[in-house]
Chains A and B, each alone.
Chain A
Amino acid sequence: MTIRVEGLSAAYGQLTALREVSLRVEPGEILAIVGANGAGKSTLLKTIAGQLAATTGSVHIDDRDVTRLAASERARLGILLVPEGRRLFPSLTVRENLQVGTSTGRAGVWTIDSVCDLFPLVEERLDRRAGLMSGGEQQATAIARALVGNPSVLMLDEISLGLAPTIVVDLYSKLGRITEQGTSILLVEQDVRRAATVADQIHCLLEGSTALAGRDLDLADITAAYFGVSTR
């Protein structure tokens, strides 16, 4: 399914954190959102997921306007967010976390068995309490928990945060298996170089607004937009 965001703004109280952002992701595509701290990357994902209300603009999935829907209803339509900091249910086992993930009621290729194939790390820990695992195991579980909900749009908020580089490479290597099912991925990433290697599109935010967006961008241009300096 195609996700289409038009003129989306959002605010925390009086503070506008996102201004008139538009983007479009086709099925199976990866769009990376880059930007400095406080640029509005997480805010953009939260607003698309419905955790934060949009003040202007709209979010469409195919031709369906979901802008006014609650987060739980968007999840049932396949818009799933892996939140920043993983947010597993610490008192539940890994298996129970995955079972809660199936509450979207969506059928598809992803089941507890198939996500265990994708993440052997998760399979080894199925009966462990989620709160007692390492960061890498928790992040893999958080992605698996969203996957079992069979997303049409999967949003990943800083999955590399606080993880060892080898684990991050391993997690990123799985994304192809997800997009080949037609799932689009929106991911937030601090590391511009890593984002540029996996993504079909880059969307660079600066102070809540789009600084640069497109395909096949030059790394130097992205870096310039990231810091808000002109290349010319």
Chain B
Amino acid sequence: MNILEAAIQGVLLGGLYGLFAAGLSLIFGVMRIVNLGYGAFAVLSAYLALALTRSTSMSPLLALLIIVPVMAAFGFVLQRWVLQRTLDPSPLPSILVTFGLAVIVENALLLTQSADQERLTLGRIDTQAIQLGEIRIGVYPLAVFVLALVLLGVLSLVIQKTGFGRSVRAISDDPGTVELMGIKPKRIYAWSGAIAFGLVAVAGVASGIQSSFNPSSGSLLLIFAFEAVIIGGIGSLWGTLVGAMVLGVAQTVGAAFAPSQQLLIGHIVFLLFLLFLPRGLTGKATRA
């Protein structure tokens, strides 16, 4: 496999990581809430899709039409009535609560499902590829990449151009003062939670089609998402996508040299960023 092909695969893989990181970028990067349950809820979404496809033999894509609203509603409720209570100048309460939620979800899946590897399938599309000269590009990874571009583009427009987005950015600057303008921050946080969980559902199902998963897969997905957000620069949605692509390329190109050390190389690149470019590629100022 040549390096160019590996790099293209890495960029496409970055689309999948970007999909994961988008919701996290919104709530961690923009609203400064640390949610360690993120990966577990992505895996939960994949298991929901698995249950739906097995019981009704519908396509995972069709299942998304049910899972995304369900997870978004769950995200709204969780943010409004659970995580809202953990908001504090110290990030510790929300870290502990979301870590606890991740443990609960993972173990509930282990109890009710099994520890076996599972996989969602789209049938023939799973393995189809486009041949461009020497290079083969998977149809499915390409589709995920395009989907990530579209979803991040829409999310970015919402944040930049709409009243809701302005409120989100204003809250990230100064939540106390936002209330003086007649805005209820709790409601904005809750809707952001809904958007983030809708995105995590898409990412979880997309990932479940691309590679196999088990109840414990969430933690690795969470790490990739955080790495993408930090490489890209906290607070920037497009930065997150670029960060995700950097991580993806690091992994696939790294795998071309040392096939068994793919993940390690990704983490090393992330650590290099932390060391030399701690504010990430977009370099937005981070709040102390």
A interface list, Cβ under 8 A from B: 49-51, 70-73, 75-76, 80-81, 83, 87, 89-92, 96-97, 99-101, 103-105, 145-146, 149
Bound form: Cα–Cα A104–B179 in Å: 10
Give CA–CA (A83, B167) in the complex, Å: 18
Which of B169, B173, B174, B181 is most buried by chain A, counting CB atoms within 10 A of its CB?
A: B181
Interchain residue pairs with CB less than 8 A apart (15): A70-B184, A72-B179, A73-B182, A75-B182, A76-B182, A83-B180, A89-B173, A91-B172, A91-B173, A96-B166, A99-B163, A100-B181, A103-B163, A149-B181, A149-B182
Chain A residues with Cβ below 8 Å from B181 are 72, 75, 100-101, 103-104, 145, 149
Interface contact A92-B180, CB-CB below 8 Å: no
A145 to B173, CA, bound (A): 15
Chain A residues in 8 Å Cβ range of B169: 89, 91-92, 96
A72 in complex: contacting residue of B163, B174, B184, CB < 8 Å = B184
Q: Whole-angstrom distance from the CB of A88 to the nearest CB of chain B?
A: 8
Interface residues of B (CB under 8 A from A): 163, 166-167, 169-170, 172-174, 176-184
Q: A99 vs B177: C-alpha distance in the bound complex, in angstroms? A: 14
Cα-based distance from A187 to B35 in the complex (angstroms):
42
CA distance A83 to B173 in the complex (A): 15
Q: Which residues of B contact A89 (CB under 8 A)?
A: 169-170, 173-174, 177-178
Question: Do the beta carbons of B183 and A72 come within 8 Å of each other?
Answer: yes
Residues of B within 8 A of A83 (CB): 177, 180
9 nearest A-B residue pairs (beta carbon): A75-B182, A104-B182, A89-B173, A71-B179, A87-B177, A89-B170, A76-B182, A72-B179, A103-B181
Choose from A75, A96, A97, A105 the contact partner of B180 (Cβ within 8 Å): A75
Q: Shortest Cβ distance from A71 into chain B, in angstroms?
A: 4
* A100 and B172 in contact, given A72-B183, A72-B184 (Cβ under 8 angstroms): no
> When the two chains form their complex, are residues A100 and B170 in contact, meaning their CB atoms are under 8 A apart?
yes
User: What residues of B have a CB within 8 angstroms of the CB of A104 in the complex?
Assistant: 181-182
Q: How far is the CA of A99 from the CA of B182 in the complex (A)?
A: 12
Q: Nearest A residue to B185 by beta-carbon distance?
A: A72
Interchain CA distance A71-B174 in the complex, whole Å: 14
Complexed CA–CA distance, A97 and B167 (Å): 10
- Asked if B174 and A103 make an inter-chain contact with CB atoms under 8 angstroms apart, the answer reads no
Residues of A within 8 Å of B170, CB to CB, are 89, 92, 96-97, 100
Interface contact A103-B173, CB-CB below 8 Å: no
In this complex, what residue of B is CB-closest to A91? B173
Cα distance, A75 to B184, chains bound together (Å): 11
Which residues of chain B have C-beta atoms less than 8 A from A92's C-beta? Answer: 166, 169-170, 173
Please measure, in the bound complex, the distance between the C-alpha atom of A92 and the C-alpha atom of B166, giving whole angstroms: 8
The distance in angstroms between the C-alpha atoms of A145 and B180, with both chains bound, is: 10
When C-beta atoms are compared, the residue in chain B nearest to A87 turns out to be: B177
A71 and B180 form a contact (CB under 8 A): yes
B169, B173, B177, B182: which has the most chain A beta carbons within 10 Å?
A: B182
Extra 9 A-B pairs, beta carbons < 8 Å, given A75-B182, A87-B177, A92-B173: A51-B179, A75-B181, A83-B180, A89-B177, A96-B170, A100-B181, A103-B163, A103-B183, A104-B182
Residue of B at shortest CB range from A96?
B166
| Complex: chain A residue closest to B172, CB-CB | A91
Contact of B174 among A49, A76, A87, A149 (CB under 8 A): A87
Task: Please report the C-alpha to C-alpha distance between residue A35 and residue B177 in the assembled complex, in whole angstroms.
Answer: 24
Most buried by A among B174, B176, B177, B180: B180
Chain A CB within 10 A, most for which of B169, B170, B172:
B170
* A100: contacting residue among B167, B176, B184, CB under 8 A: B167
A45 to B184, CA, bound (A): 20
Could you tell me if A103 and B172 are in contact, using CB atoms closer than 8 angstroms?
no
Bound: A104/B173 CA distance, A: 19
